[in-house]
Amino acid sequence: MTGRLALQGAGVSVGTAVGAALVLEPETVPVFRYAIAPEAVGAEQARLRAAVDSSREQLRSIRERLLREVGPRAYIFDAQLLMLDDPLLVQRSLDLLKEQAVNAEWALRSVGDELHDLFAGFSDAYLQERGTDLDDVVGRIHLNLAADGSAPSLARLPGPVVLVSGDLSPSQAAEMDWDNVLAIVTDAGSPTYHTAILARSLGIPGVVGLKDATRRIPTGARVAVDGSTGSVLVEPSEADIDGFARRAEEVRRCAKGLEAERPLPATTIDGVRISLQANAEFAEEVTSALEYGAEGIGLFRSEYLLGRAQTWPSEDEQVDLYRRLIELMRPHPVTVRVWDLPPEHAEHVSGRANPAMGERALRLQRRRPEPFHVQLRALLRAAVAGPLRIMFPFATGPSDVMAVREMVEAARLSLRKDGIEHREDAPVGLNIEVPAAAATADLLAREVDFFSVGTNDLIQYLLAVDRADPLVARFYEPLHPAVLRVIDGVVRAAMEHDVPVSVCGEMAADPLQALLLVGLGVRELSMSAVSIPRVKNALRKVHASHAAEVARRCLGLSTAAAIEALARQELLGTAEAGPQ
Amino acid sequence: MIEREVVIRNSLGLHARAAARFVRLAGRFQSHVKVERGGRRMDGKSILGMLLLAASRGTHLILLVDGPDEQEAAQALVELIESGLGEEVA
């Protein structure tokens, strides 16, 4: 175990937690470390032996097949088979399991890593490669351990953990046993990063942008996380933990104060009603969104349904899920965003290509229409149950609207032909997140039922800042004059054509920025559910007419700092200055 | 206990296939088999141990065989190495 270590990242969600780290490594099955009761050591050793036996059977049958097909070259597997009986690997793992009273996976992993390092240390390339055989064998035993049903996985964590990962992929997130996740810590990211949004919507502490947390925090280490300050302590002292507990208590007290306002509407002093909705990735989040006072799901990120298996869910599965969302939220609306950046594409864009500007959403649809067709059929069917809106992401201009219309029409036609009950007039809208769409908002507004401004991507594209890159994250300025002007243009175009416009980026979750959006004329805000009480609190203390006047004045200012200073003085000066 | 010094003669040295042959043969005897190279001693019935000796052609090894069938074991193992571990002797 390491000694005390203090790391600093960007805190992205309110709250603190202390627990055992689980470090996720990219592309591998995570290996958990947990203690085994002394009386269970025998059974755990038997688990390991059984996994070794299964591995041996598998390798034997592979070798027999190869002997028939390629002849003597099958000797490669002779070495692997001998490794399975090798005391340096198996017996040492069994011994370590007993000595440390740890699970089989961890014992095998520790011994495997040690041997791997010995092979990697050779200068001889041939011997280095034998390390590959070893890794192969160890990997096979791990797979057999995982297959025995009692093994923990991301979907069934062995207990509460602090998740430490390079980056949390959507498929890992979809599969995760969130009830047992105390906090999330990631190497990548900035406060507007996707994992950060996830932490906020789940209401658990998160710290992102730590760069090398996965390398510096060992699995099993005790970790204290403060999501407000971004502080992460490895092996904290008792005094550290007391400090964390005190801050957690303050956060709870502050939340209690907002609690009283929960049943109250989000109405400004001069009576303008604002609809505060929640962003969500999973149906499980809807219940907690209601608890925070959400009046709808403003953004349901459907691609999370693809899960770790990365398979498209069937039409019926989707109908069930969308219907569940609608039933939980009725009478409030649910806006489902059509597939965006499916994970299967993560591989071929992970190289030099830039996934943010790659073949996503509508672009992918042109090459692979089937999953979109199935989803649209499911959405139109589910819409019978209540107010469901269909939102298309990543539109870049009027030609995309044509594609959208054709797609929706094709889904309607096929449902009609099949005689399946569905709603013909479910509202269809666009996510305005690409500057090209914002620039053509007046043309788009004639053709669709609603706009939803995705500020996270819009700001990223507009300012040419990758928000996942810690080196440039500070250039990501939501109050940059360009951002306000572009949003102003979109809202005006929408109003002119009587198209409702909502904002579903993280700007909506920041009380000051939310007030400016209301000043620009936005009447629907969708955010991480945990942010709703704070935004509502701020809204209830301002006049919408005053916010409008301040927003006009801000449009004439030349820096984000000047805009923020004016807005803060004018809008939060009378309102309470919330946490930054 | 029997102690014998041998020299690796086959061109590829004690690599995977050769090491596998040695370990399989050692495993047929009841005796304990140790193989030593420059003070590092490995279990002769461990493929990982044999590979980790990193013995290339010309390497001197010491075999230490101890047990009820040590005579036959030592003889068979020495013969295997001297015949080039089933491979060509350059």
Burial of A146-171, coded b for 16+ CB within 10 Å and e otherwise, reads: beeeebbebeebbebbbbbbbbbbbb
Is residue A526 in some structural domain?
A: no
Per-residue pLDDT, A204: 87
Residue that terminates a domain, selected from A490, A506, A522: A506
| pLDDT: which is higher, B51 or A335 | A335
| pLDDT: which is higher, A370 or A295 | A295
pTM for this model (two decimals): 0.60
Catalytic residue among A194, A332, A422, A480: A194
Distance separating alpha carbons of residues B42 and A123, to the nearest angstrom: 20
Per-residue pLDDT, A119: 84
* Nearest chain A residue (CA) to B49: A88
Q: Indicate whether A92 and A159 sit together in one domain.
A: no
Mutate to test the interface with B, among A111, A122, A130 (most CBs of B within 10 A): A130
Strand order in the sheet with A206-208: A5-8, A231-234, A222-226, A16-24, A161-165, A181-186, A206-208, A10-13
Q: Indicate whether A11 and A71 sit together in one domain.
A: no
Checking if the pLDDT of A575 tops 60, the result is: no
Give which of A221, A245, A247 is closest to A234, Cα–Cα: A221
* Nearest chain B residue (CA) to A119: B52
Give the phi and the psi of residue B18 in degrees, each rounded to 5. -65, -45
Is residue A224 in some structural domain?
A: yes
Mutate to test the interface with B, among A76, A78, A92 (most CBs of B within 10 A): A78
Checking if the pLDDT of A492 tops 50, the result is: yes
Per-residue pLDDT, A468: 66
Checking if the pLDDT of A577 tops 50, the result is: no
Checking if the pLDDT of A256 tops 80, the result is: no
Residue that terminates a domain, selected from A474, A490, A506: A506
* Nearest chain B residue (CA) to A124: B54
Q: Indicate whether A9 and A49 sit together in one domain.
A: no
Length in residues, chain B: 90
* Nearest chain B residue (CA) to A122: B54
Per-residue pLDDT, B30: 94
Answer for the pair A302, A338: CB distance below 8 angstroms, yes or no.
Answer: yes
Average pLDDT of the residues in A87-98: 94
Residue that terminates a domain, selected from A94, A123, A146: A146
Token representation of residue A225: 């996380």
Burial of A40-67, coded b for 16+ CB within 10 Å and e otherwise, reads: ebeebbebbeebbebbbeebeeebeebe
Is residue A554 in some structural domain?
A: no
Is residue A501 in some structural domain?
A: yes
Confidence band of A73 (pLDDT split at 50, 70, 90): low
Cis peptide before A331 (omega within 30 of 0): yes
- Asked if B17 lies within 8 A of A122 by C-beta distance, the reply is no
Token representation of residue A258: 């907002």
Task: Give all domains of chain B, ordered by start, each with its CATH number.
Answer: 2-82 (3.30.1340.10)
Checking if the pLDDT of A578 tops 60, the result is: no
Q: Indicate whether A361 and A382 sit together in one domain.
A: yes
| Catalytic center residues of B | 15
Find the domain containing A358 and state its range.
Answer: 269-506
Is residue A544 in some structural domain?
A: no
Per-residue pLDDT, A579: 39
Per-residue pLDDT, A188: 79
The total number of structural domains that make up chain A: 3
Checking if the pLDDT of A301 tops 70, the result is: yes
Checking if the pLDDT of A574 tops 50, the result is: no
- Asked if B52 lies within 8 A of A118 by C-beta distance, the reply is yes
Per-residue pLDDT, A14: 73
Q: Indicate whether A298 and A428 sit together in one domain.
A: yes
- Please give the mean pLDDT across all residues of chain A: 85
Give the phi and the psi of residue A337 in degrees, each rounded to 5. -85, 130
Per-residue pLDDT, A309: 53
Checking if the pLDDT of A72 tops 70, the result is: no
Closest partner residue to A82 (CB to CB) among B15, B20, B56 is B20
Per-residue pLDDT, B63: 93
| pLDDT: which is higher, A72 or A477 | A477
Collect all residues from B whose CB is shorter than 8 A from any CB in A: 15-17, 19-20, 23-24, 43, 45-49, 51-52, 54, 56
Per-residue pLDDT, A349: 41
**pLDDT tens across A111-165, in order?**
998 998 888 887 777 777 777 888 889 989 988 888 776 677 788 887 889 999 8
Distance separating alpha carbons of residues B77 and A77, to the nearest angstrom: 22
Range picked from A60-64, A156-160, A554-558, B57-61 for highest mean pLDDT: A554-558
Q: Indicate whether A15 and A161 sit together in one domain.
A: yes
Is residue A416 in some structural domain?
A: yes
Give which of B43, B47, B54 is closest to B8, Cα–Cα: B54
With pLDDT > 70 as the criterion, what percentage of chain A qualifies? 90
Average pLDDT of the residues in A8-17: 76
Environment class of residue A193 by beta-carbon count within 10 Å: exposed (0-12), middle (13-18) or buried (19+)?
buried
| pLDDT: which is higher, B84 or B41 | B41
Mutate to test the interface with B, among A59, A82, A108, A136 (most CBs of B within 10 A): A82
Q: Indicate whether A273 and A347 sit together in one domain.
A: yes
Q: Indicate whether A15 and A108 sit together in one domain.
A: no
Is residue A572 in some structural domain?
A: no
If you search the block for the tokens 């609207």, which residue do you land on?
A: A401
Q: Indicate whether A141 and A160 sit together in one domain.
A: no
Angle, CA of A285, A291 and A297, to the nearest 5°: 50
- Asked if B16 lies within 8 A of A79 by C-beta distance, the reply is yes
Confidence band of A173 (pLDDT split at 50, 70, 90): confident
Count of CB atoms situated within 10 Å of the CB of B68:
10
CB < 8 Å to A86, chain B: 46-49
- Asked if A79 lies within 8 A of B49 by C-beta distance, the reply is no
- Worst-scoring range by mean pLDDT, A260-264, A313-317, A330-334, A404-408? A260-264
Closest partner residue to B48 (CB to CB) among A89, A122, A124 is A89
**pLDDT tens across A328-342, in order?**
999 999 999 998 864
**pLDDT tens across A472-482, in order?**
777 889 999 99
- Give the DSSP H/E element, type plus range, for residue A44: helix A41-70
CATH, residue A118: 1.10.274.10
Beta bridge partners of A21: A162
Q: Indicate whether A124 and A24 sit together in one domain.
A: no
Helices A41-70 and A125-146: angle between axes, nearest 10 degrees? 120
Checking if the pLDDT of A374 tops 80, the result is: yes
Q: Indicate whether A26 and A169 sit together in one domain.
A: yes
Q: Indicate whether A42 and A10 sit together in one domain.
A: no
Note the ipTM here.
Answer: 0.85
- Asked if B48 lies within 8 A of A134 by C-beta distance, the reply is yes
Distance separating alpha carbons of residues A143 and A523, to the nearest angstrom: 52
Give the phi and the psi of residue A273 in degrees, each rounded to 5. -90, 125
CATH, residue A344: 3.20.20.60
Checking if the pLDDT of B59 tops 60, the result is: yes
DSSP string, A349-416: HSSSS-GGGSS-THHHHHH--HHHHHHHHHHHHHGGGS-EEEEE----SHHHHHHHHHHHHHHHHHHH
Checking if the pLDDT of A1 tops 50, the result is: no
How many angstroms from the chain centroid is the CA of residue A338? Answer: 16
**pLDDT tens across A391-441, in order?**
999 899 998 999 999 999 999 999 999 999 999 999 999 999 999 999 999
CA distance A34 to chain B (A): 28
With pLDDT > 90 as the criterion, what percentage of chain A qualifies? 47
Average pLDDT of the residues in A177-189: 87
Average pLDDT of the residues in A193-201: 74
- Asked if B47 lies within 8 A of A86 by C-beta distance, the reply is yes
Amino acid making up residue A269: I
- Residue pairs spanning A and B at CB distance below 8 A: 48
Distance separating alpha carbons of residues A21 and A24, to the nearest angstrom: 10
Per-residue pLDDT, A488: 98
CB < 8 Å to A126, chain B: 15
Average pLDDT of the residues in A444-467: 93
Give which of A315, A319, A317, A277 is closest to A298, Cα–Cα: A277
Range picked from A179-193, A195-209, A444-458, B48-62 for highest mean pLDDT: A444-458
Checking if the pLDDT of A350 tops 60, the result is: no
Average pLDDT of the residues in A164-182: 81
Average pLDDT of the residues in A557-573: 93
| pLDDT: which is higher, A279 or A303 | A279
Per-residue pLDDT, A413: 96
CATH, residue A207: 3.50.30.10
Average pLDDT of the residues in A81-88: 91
**pLDDT tens across A210-253, in order?**
888 888 898 888 999 988 778 899 999 888 888 888 877 777 77
CB < 8 Å to A82, chain B: 20, 23-24, 47
Answer for the pair A30, A23: CB distance below 8 angstroms, yes or no.
Answer: yes
Is residue A565 in some structural domain?
A: no
Task: Indicate the DSSP class of residue A218.
Answer: -
Checking if the pLDDT of A294 tops 70, the result is: yes
| pLDDT: which is higher, A344 or A386 | A386
**pLDDT tens across A531-551, in order?**
888 899 999 999 999 999 999
Average pLDDT of the residues in A509-536: 92
Checking if the pLDDT of A283 tops 60, the result is: yes
| A194 noted as active-site residue | yes
Average pLDDT of the residues in A182-200: 77
